[in-house]
Structure 1
Amino acid sequence: MRPDVRRWLSRRTYTAASWTAADLAGAKRSRGSTVSVVLPALDEEPTVGAIVAAIHEALVRDAPLVDEVVVVDSGSADRTAAVAAAAGARVVDTATVLPAHGRVPGKGEALWKGLHATSGDLVVFVDADLVGFDPQFVVGLLGPLLTDPGIGYVKALYDRPLVTTEGIVPSGGGRVTELLARPLLNAWWPELSGFVQPLGGEYAGRRELLERVPFVSGYGVEFGLLVDLAGLAGVDALAQVDLGTRTHGHQSDAALGRMAGQILQTAIARRPGTGSPSPELLQFLRTADGVEAVSWDVAVTERPPMRTVRPAAGRGRS
């Protein structure tokens, strides 16, 4: 493992249990900060209401940590908007936010317009399809931002169980992360290889940073934000927080392929220079003490065309 990544992992990896909502509410009050929570949503009627209600009860009513909860609806065909509003969220439609810029499909569009539709100094993004949502997710993401002024962006890390016809695979989710995003980061941005869940949909940041980087319209938004914010503020301004386990719906392989295509486009647009990729791949295993990094050498050797190594055309093999 690179020494700089090892140092970053030890300095910038936290656990959500390190903070309570009440403690952070006091820190927020003393700093004069404000907090917005944004949930991008498209046909999430079964889950969005419970998430909004949990945030309101624990982090608006019981501990004044969150100032506004905004659901950004990307034109849902179900009752997502009504359910979210009934649970206490302010609901905005992507078509009505910055209408002069039009409307394009994709999660990144909802996040970008959610940034415009909110006013908090600190912005927390939470996917609207989470099952068994815990308000401590929001607490954990805000912890580093409210206790360390040197941190500007925080990603969640967690286990992602995969539900299959044969049962539950405890860490089987995140297939696009393991097959595409992690190898890309290790190859071209190895300084970011310590992020356990680079594509995770739960993260928080300071508005002053988030408003200075572009938002990719589709599923490449998380990859783009990670790379761009690291380039803008430096890797040491980024952190990750262990939230334990995150459960949500899973997409088909075909849908994941389309997601991977958007992430690949995002990465290609940001690829640094023309040098050779790093030959190291850092992967992570859940242990009793948290997560453990495991390093692999994935370098390949390319042999020349066979005809160039034969002494002369037509000569027998040797």
Structure 2
Amino acid sequence: MGMKKNASWGPLVWRWLWAQLGKLLDKQAPQHPAPEHKVLPPASPLALDAKAYATVIIPALNEAKRIADVVAYALADPATAEVIVIDDSSIDATAQLARAAGARVILSSMLGKGASMQDGIEPARQDLLVYLDGDLAGLRPGIITDLCIPLLRGAADFVKARFGRGGGRVTELTAKPMLKIFFPELAHISQPLGGIIAARKKLLQTLPFEDGYGVDVGILIDAHLSGARIAEVDIGSLEHDSQPLHDLTVMANEVSRVIFNRARSAGRLHVEQVATMYEAQRQAASGIDYVLTRRKGRQRLLLLDMDGTVTPSRFAVELAKANGQSTALMQLLDTHDGDASTRSENIARLFQYLHKKKFEQVARAMEIRPGVIEFVNQMRRRGFMVGVVSDSYFVAADVLRRRIFADFAMAHSIVFENEVCTGQVRINPAFIHPTGSAGNPICKSNVLRRFLSDPSEPAVHLTWVVGDNTNDLALMRLADAAFAIEPKSPSLMNDPDITVIDSFGALLERLPNHILVAKAA
């Protein structure tokens, strides 16, 4: 019932929001007048130093189809001194092909385009940095030179590529209208979400990089707010792999969140009630319906517990330690009064008034077990969809799943208002048994049941689980293969269907060249 309520609420909020935006669009914004704008044509030959002067950075995830051609294209431009490919732990031959084509390949610090873009800045040897996407085709010669020339001339500090007649659906229906309202100085930018840009290294070092789809528009706005002069260069037309339809809603949500946050920071946002919508949209990524759309026909599933499995320690313990609440948390963990739900609510109240950034900082700093990244990568190469399933908070589980390059995270939601914790927890509906079973009413095993009952073809037929404690037991017993890493309970050690391991490295060594078929029902 909760899922249906949320599904019907979303469109109403969007209709209300766009109605408000439409009213604002009809108003003038004289306090932020748009400057005179000129699009620079392809550059004419200049008497420039013949020495190459640009580092080309290419964030890439599973771009084996085109990455070698993009690297070769970049190296053929006389402005290019080096090419760096930041690999998001690709499970295809992206890294090998990029290296063979002449690029320096660096593993990203965590999953996400923003992290990959930022990871390329410090190792760059040149002062001028140019970003390209790894799936481009149809590029005319000389684009890198053209993007750099406004920087070399001193005519701009930040350059965006302009291509084609217009942007995609999210660009035209979300980004541009919102920029027109909140940042009319940038409303003329043809491709605010485009990833082809050029700037000086010292400028990019001062800018924050968002994790998700909003990274490009965030950099654009931040560069503008820093006082950078922004120019566009027309690069003609190009071929670019389009985003799948089911990802467009998440992209639109991310882009709108970034623009709203920048507008608020700049003192331009006065519709504070919209802030409640941000959190609902962010939490949509933890919903089972969205996760199932990302299965993309994969028939194998690996579910990893978070606390004690992916990480040796528990997130709540580390957060309490960082917040000076360790003693209070230990008292709650040691007591056996009340049910698990009540204890979970009491723990969440310890973190009331804590900013969301503290949750994310702790999750980013937590130790992860050696070998887990390599194990996840190998399982994805074998056709597994990999998820982190946790009784903890989605805000942390999603950071951890990106750190190990997993496909999704499923966890409960700790509620934030204006990015400050309210101390309330919302149970993820995917953890609730579909028939209200008295045995496992709220349990990780119900997440696996949702995958197994997914009507999309082909069906999931092979499931693996790695856990460490009794709260993982029902999930492990439902899976085709279950592994306990440093188990905390004899019930896991004594279960004949659970294999005990001491590390992900040991499990990686046990992987067969082929994956066993699912056990008989």
After TM superposition, the score normalised by the length of structure 2 is 0.44
CA distance in 2, matches of 1:215, 1:45: 25
| Matched position secondary structure for 1:227 | helix
Q: Which amino acid aligns with 1:36?
A: T
Match of 1:114 among 114, 120, 124: 120
The C-alpha deviation readout for 1:39-79, integer Å capped at 9, x for no partner, is: 000000011101111222x22xxx3x211101110010100
Match of 2:253 among 258, 261, 268: 261
Give the CA deviation at 1:135: 3.7
Over 6 Å off, 4+ runs:
none
Give the CA deviation at 1:276: 6.5
CA distance in 2, matches of 1:216, 1:15: 30
Whether 1:14 and 2:40 are equivalent positions in the alignment is yes
Of Structure 1 and Structure 2, the greater strand share is in: 1
Q: CA RMSD in A?
A: 2.2
CA distance in 2, matches of 1:38, 1:135: 17
Contact 1:28-1:146 within 8 A present in 2 as well: no
Contact 1:19-1:143 within 8 A present in 2 as well: no
CA distance in 2, matches of 1:79, 1:226: 32
Match of 1:153 among 158, 162, 166: 158
Contact 2:166-2:191 within 8 A present in 1 as well: no
Contact 1:51-1:133 within 8 A present in 2 as well: no
| Matched position secondary structure for 2:119 | helix
Give the CA deviation at 1:116: 2.0
Contact 1:27-1:146 within 8 A present in 2 as well: no
| Matched position secondary structure for 1:75 | coil
Q: How does 1:224-243 map to 2 (within 5 A)?
A: 224-234=218-228, 237-243=229-235
Q: Which amino acid aligns with 2:160?
A: K
CA distance in 2, matches of 1:155, 1:28: 24
| Matched position secondary structure for 1:219 | coil
Match of 2:103 among 85, 89, 95: 89
Whether 1:130 and 2:123 are equivalent positions in the alignment is no
CA distance in 1, matches of 2:41, 2:151: 13
Whether 1:192 and 2:215 are equivalent positions in the alignment is no
CA distance in 2, matches of 1:274, 1:153: 23
CA distance in 2, matches of 1:6, 1:83: 44
Match of 2:89 among 62, 72, 75: 75
Give the CA deviation at 1:34: 3.1
CA distance in 2, matches of 1:228, 1:275: 16
CA distance in 2, matches of 1:80, 1:201: 19
Whether 1:40 and 2:59 are equivalent positions in the alignment is yes
| Matched position secondary structure for 2:80 | coil
Q: Which residue does 1:141 correspond to in 2?
A: 147
| Matched position secondary structure for 1:69 | strand
| Matched position secondary structure for 1:117 | coil
**Percent same amino acid at aligned positions?**
35
The C-alpha deviation readout for 1:6-64, integer Å capped at 9, x for no partner, is: 51x13xx2012x234xx47x2475xxx831000000000011101111222x22xxx3x
Give the CA deviation at 1:268: 2.1
Match of 1:219 among 213, 217, 220: 213
CA distance in 2, matches of 1:231, 1:108: 19
| Matched position secondary structure for 1:205 | strand
Q: Which amino acid aligns with 2:44?
A: W
| Matched position secondary structure for 1:244 | coil
| Matched position secondary structure for 2:117 | helix
CA separation of 1:224 and 1:172: change in aligned 2, threshold 3 A: closer
| Matched position secondary structure for 1:124 | strand
Q: List runs of 5+ in structure 2 lacking aligned partners.
A: 1-27, 272-521
Contact 2:139-2:237 within 8 A present in 1 as well: no
CA distance in 1, matches of 2:56, 2:190: 23
Q: Which amino acid aligns with 2:68?
A: G
Q: List runs of 5+ in structure 1 lacking aligned partners.
A: 96-102, 160-170, 278-318
Contact 2:158-2:200 within 8 A present in 1 as well: yes
Contact 2:260-2:269 within 8 A present in 1 as well: no
